[in-house]
Structure 1
Amino acid sequence: MKKTLAVAKFGGGLLDIEGKRIINILQKIRELKDKHDIGPIVVFSAPMGITDKLIQIGNSYAQSSPLSLNPIFEVYYNLAKLYVKDGYYNKTLKVIDNLKTLTLDALNSINKRFDGNVKAKILTLGGELAMSAIMDNILKSNGFDSCRISLSDWPIVTDDSFDDASPNYELSKKRRNILMDCLEKEKIISLAGFLGVTSDGLETILGRGGSDLSAVFISCLLKSRFQTETLLFKDVPIQSADPKVIPDQLTDHITALTYNEAHKASMMGMKIVQNPAIAMARRFLQPLLIVPFDCPRKYSIIQAKPIGGDIVKCITGKFGAAILSMNDEKSRSFEDSLRIWEKRNDFLDLGAETLETGVRIRDFLFMDSDFLKKNEEKLKGFDENLKIDYGLGVVTLIGDKMKDSPGVASLAISSISGINIKRGIFAPHTSQIIIVVDEKNVNATVAAIHAKKTEMNKSTH
């Protein structure tokens, strides 16, 4: 019988620069160690706000007006002072000093562009690697037998897309013995999230929110040897809508989502799990536990098997959308370029229509209008007459059971009779109903539809 192992990720929202939750994190780690046969492996993000500040510093070096790195590392020196005990304190200071030196060396190597391997190196040296190193020493000084994995043995091997890399399972599998050796010695592993390396050892990053993917991938990598449980600790539970958007309504705790529902919800504005992490879990059929840190009983499970009877699980709202319209004949190469070369999947084909002039136009709904704004002139290389309608928002009803439940769309539309609908995609067979409105109407649309959620979920009873 396989030994049980937990892989737990603690995100930046739980790691403020003062480390207020570190003692509680240690308690969670102790509980996981007591519950399972081996481990756990603990994945850490950078402290809240650190990645954004490192990006700002990196850009300042690219513009030859460098900002100081000292405020970043003062956070780590302060955390060490507060939480590292006994003889580990001086060792921790040396580790932080070394990471600071390496980060400065990388910053000084920037030549007009803050990107590629240099960017990955700076963000992880000054972020996740520093945090996981400090947590390793905090664990040791609190009586845990813990260890870190060196960069030369890094277990997540990726492609060469330095800013948004994808893990390679077969290449990474050749390095998993490093992890297994530590686990068989009954050690806890403190692992930096977000970080990957190419096959020849250059640092990469797994995209924004990539620490989720780190934890999920490590779970999948070890799944054939251990019975792995993946826990992603978050600030709040998964709910039927954002409570900030509907302060006058009660939200429902969502106990379970299928991989498909989670993917749709994440893409459409609910901050659950990074989409590549969901895709990785789905590929290996690895269940994910989304655990609210302060209320762990309100956890949610993401898995293949549907649980519960709700037709509409959640209603999401997303700002910053846009509709791009272009010549239909020219749209195929455009779409292929985005999906294959740019690896973008955050847009939907809304179909084509023939105008009175005889010209056939195809529309695409983009979830990230900033991408279009930054690349509008480049995109006109596909069609110089393309048009973009900015200032839109997207409200989405999500639930796999909608495909078998007629009437949901009509209830949703009837609830927002006073709001101008720019476009509607009523395709419950895809587990989602999408309503495009002006950005200013997103919150009102979510609130109005959510008020009808109970009625929608009675339509099959």
Structure 2
Amino acid sequence: MSKLTIAKFGGSAIGIDGKGIPEIVKRIKEIQENSKLVVVCSAPLTMVEGKKRSLTDVILGIGNDAANGNNFDFSIVEKPYMKILEYVSDELRNSCKEVIDEFLKNSKEAIELATSKKEFLDEIRSKALAFSGEVLMSHVLNLILRSNGIKSDTISLDDWPIITDNNIESTNFLFSESISRMDKIEQILEKNDVISIGGFIGKTKDGIITTYERGGSDRTAADLGILFHKKYDTVIDLEKDSSVVSADPKIVKNELEEVNELSYNEARLAGMFGMKIVDPIAIKEILENGVEIPLTITNMNSPNMITRIQRKPDDKSGHPLKIVTGKRNCAILRIESEMIRDLLVSLDKDKRYSEFIVLSPFTKDGIEFSRVLFLDGDYVKRNEKYILSFDALATVAYDRGVVTLIGDEMWRVQQIASKASSKIGDAGLNILNMDAQEETSRIIIVIEDTEDSVSKAIESIHSERSKIKFI
């Protein structure tokens, strides 16, 4: 079976106005020496009023301005592509400029439609994003690769292989419909060494453009892995500016340790609780489709530094407390246990929402209550009426921060829960809730979300990590 690498390059890898493209081309050349390659592109970054922003955020801002009747400056979107155009050879530059102009014309038309309709929603929003960001970037990257002597091609929206349901703005992958649309991309891959494709974007069976939620390019890479894995020996490679370390380096500066291997479970939990490793829904989709595909997180600047993610890691000799992470802006729902089942079924089937954890129940006045930790307090606020409709006496506590210790082998750590809670106390923070279960490979500590409380808790617990003894 031939080898296939699906490599995703995010916005930070592409860089501001494409500054990272030479390094991406170098990495693509290295990877395609030993493997066919599908490159999943994110939207590039640019500078707006002195701040680094993704073109996705720029377009969302422009679209909302247009819908509210405000003037907008579309040249902000054009600027990064004019810079990126410099990486295309003289021979292909005019063709690339025509592609850019055509795509941005389609995006601008969608924005103008938002002005006339006074709304920036659904297909209008998806078209504006697709034609200005990920899909356009995949076509431009294809011409850059050709300029560098790489046998490359891209896939058009007409032949798009990622088919989704009809939830336009937060869509869901449909395997059976997608596998039936694979002929074109398979033909192109057979004729070329590299294919580039936009991440984050899907299409319904009826051809309507859809988008995943933020982080959706990881899901595109996972979905392509699911679709290709029977035909190729497939690996998913997420190229970043570092491999995985034991805490967020923006929070913890000392005693960080490289994490060489993670299980699917550990990586998914880390993603849910704040570590930008891989979108947890990407791993969920791999598991739901019953496949086993190895993922690697590769440090682009030092490609020998990688973190492997697989169902069951081979090496269990490392520190069992692999990651200390945390998340702000969470909420906790307290609901009678008798009522929780219908809510959980509805969240899964109707909302297709999974960014929550069911904590240990408790009993009060002879009644058992369940607690649901939602990892996005804003989602709960937007859907509070729906959530509380399942139990009139249910309550929601907002402004909760969560610190999470992650490791499938944490049972080997002596007194880990007590040590973690002690360090929280030493930092002057109050624990509102603690949930530790061996079977779920995580310890959750809930604190009040005020200023830097989550960061202080992460730093305090991580400082104890190197001192912890384990079997």
Tell me whether the two structures share a fold, i.e. TM-score over 0.5: yes
Q: Please report how far the alpha carbon of residue 332 of structure 1 lies from its aligned counterpart in structure 2 after TM superposition.
A: 3.7
Q: Distance in 1 between matches of 2:16 and 2:291?
A: 35
Q: What is the correspondence of 1:192-207 to structure 2 with a 5 Å cutoff?
A: 192-207=198-213
Q: Please report how far the alpha carbon of residue 210 of structure 1 lies from its aligned counterpart in structure 2 after TM superposition.
A: 0.9
Q: Partner of 2:48 in structure 1?
A: none
Paired amino acid for 1:344: Y
CA offsets, 1:277-302, max 9 Å, x none?
11233431000011111122221010
Q: Distance in 2 between matches of 1:424 and 1:399?
A: 16
Whether the aligned pair in 2 keeps the contact of 1:407 and 1:459 (CA below 8 Å) is no
Paired amino acid for 1:85: S
Q: Partner of 2:257 in structure 1?
A: 252
Three-state SS of the structure 1 residue aligned to 2:424 is: coil
Q: Partner of 1:236 in structure 2?
A: 242
2:295 aligns with one of 259, 268, 288: 288
1:122 aligns with one of 99, 113, 128: 128
Q: Partner of 1:24 in structure 2?
A: 23
Paired amino acid for 2:158: S
Q: Distance in 2 between matches of 1:429 and 1:360?
A: 22
Q: Please report how far the alpha carbon of residue 77 of structure 1 lies from its aligned counterpart in structure 2 after TM superposition.
A: 2.1
CA offsets, 1:335-393, max 9 Å, x none?
3332321122122223444444x665433211111112233345444445543222211
Q: Please report how far the alpha carbon of residue 414 of structure 1 lies from its aligned counterpart in structure 2 after TM superposition.
A: 2.7
Whether the aligned pair in 2 keeps the contact of 1:281 and 1:288 (CA below 8 Å) is no
Q: What is the correspondence of 1:247-396 to structure 2 with a 5 Å cutoff?
A: 247=253, 249-282=254-287, 283-306=290-313, 307-309=315-317, 310-356=319-365, 361-396=369-404
Q: Distance in 2 between matches of 1:61 and 1:241?
A: 40
Paired amino acid for 1:97: D
Q: Please report how far the alpha carbon of residue 61 of structure 1 lies from its aligned counterpart in structure 2 after TM superposition.
A: 2.2
2:41 aligns with one of 32, 44, 54: 44
Three-state SS of the structure 2 residue aligned to 1:396 is: strand
Q: Partner of 1:101 in structure 2?
A: 105
Q: Please report how far the alpha carbon of residue 215 of structure 1 lies from its aligned counterpart in structure 2 after TM superposition.
A: 1.5
CA offsets, 1:83-124, max 9 Å, x none?
111221111111111111111222233323322222211111
Q: Distance in 2 between matches of 1:40 and 1:362?
A: 47
Whether the aligned pair in 1 keeps the contact of 2:245 and 2:258 (CA below 8 Å) is yes
CA offsets, 1:164-199, max 9 Å, x none?
222222222222221221222134211111111111
Q: Distance in 2 between matches of 1:428 and 1:316?
A: 18
Q: Partner of 2:439 in structure 1?
A: 429
Whether the aligned pair in 1 keeps the contact of 2:14 and 2:24 (CA below 8 Å) is no
Q: Distance in 2 between matches of 1:281 and 1:349?
A: 22
Q: What is the correspondence of 1:195-234 to structure 2 with a 5 Å cutoff?
A: 195-234=201-240
Moved more, 294-303 or 68-77: 68-77
Q: Indicate how the Cα distance of structure 1 residues 355 and 224 shifts in structure 2: closer, same or farther if over 3 A, else same.
A: closer
Whether the aligned pair in 2 keeps the contact of 1:45 and 1:127 (CA below 8 Å) is yes
Q: Partner of 1:444 in structure 2?
A: 456
Whether the aligned pair in 1 keeps the contact of 2:15 and 2:21 (CA below 8 Å) is no
Are 2:151 and 1:145 equivalent residues in the alignment? yes
Q: Distance in 2 between matches of 1:330 and 1:377?
A: 15
Whether the aligned pair in 2 keeps the contact of 1:281 and 1:287 (CA below 8 Å) is no
Percent of aligned pairs sharing the same letter = 35
Q: Distance in 2 between matches of 1:12 and 1:44?
A: 8
1:69 aligns with one of 57, 65, 74: 74
Whether the aligned pair in 2 keeps the contact of 1:103 and 1:126 (CA below 8 Å) is yes
Whether the aligned pair in 1 keeps the contact of 2:18 and 2:83 (CA below 8 Å) is no
Q: Distance in 1 between matches of 2:230 and 2:392?
A: 52
Paired amino acid for 2:99: V
Q: Distance in 2 between matches of 1:244 and 1:439?
A: 18
Q: Distance in 1 between matches of 2:230 and 2:371?
A: 44
Q: Please report how far the alpha carbon of residue 405 of structure 1 lies from its aligned counterpart in structure 2 after TM superposition.
A: 4.8
Q: Distance in 2 between matches of 1:428 and 1:66?
A: 55
Q: Distance in 2 between matches of 1:446 and 1:432?
A: 14
Whether the aligned pair in 2 keeps the contact of 1:212 and 1:277 (CA below 8 Å) is yes
Q: TM-score, normalised by structure 1?
A: 0.93
Q: Please report how far the alpha carbon of residue 404 of structure 1 lies from its aligned counterpart in structure 2 after TM superposition.
A: 5.3
Q: Distance in 1 between matches of 2:235 and 2:364?
A: 54
1:413 aligns with one of 408, 413, 421: 421
Moved more, 403-412 or 17-26: 403-412
Q: Partner of 1:165 in structure 2?
A: 171
Q: Which residues of structure 1 form unaligned runs of 5+?
A: none
Q: Please report how far the alpha carbon of residue 398 of structure 1 lies from its aligned counterpart in structure 2 after TM superposition.
A: 0.6
Q: Distance in 2 between matches of 1:104 and 1:415?
A: 53
Are 2:21 and 1:11 equivalent residues in the alignment? no
Three-state SS of the structure 1 residue aligned to 2:401 is: strand
Q: Distance in 2 between matches of 1:398 and 1:449?
A: 12
Q: Please report how far the alpha carbon of residue 328 of structure 1 lies from its aligned counterpart in structure 2 after TM superposition.
A: 4.5
What's the C-alpha RMSD, in Å, of the aligned pairs? 1.9
Equivalences, count = 453
Whether the aligned pair in 2 keeps the contact of 1:289 and 1:301 (CA below 8 Å) is yes
Q: Please report how far the alpha carbon of residue 140 of structure 1 lies from its aligned counterpart in structure 2 after TM superposition.
A: 1.5
Three-state SS of the structure 2 residue aligned to 1:105 is: helix
Q: Please report how far the alpha carbon of residue 329 of structure 1 lies from its aligned counterpart in structure 2 after TM superposition.
A: 4.4
Q: Partner of 1:175 in structure 2?
A: 181
Q: Please report how far the alpha carbon of residue 33 of structure 1 lies from its aligned counterpart in structure 2 after TM superposition.
A: 1.5
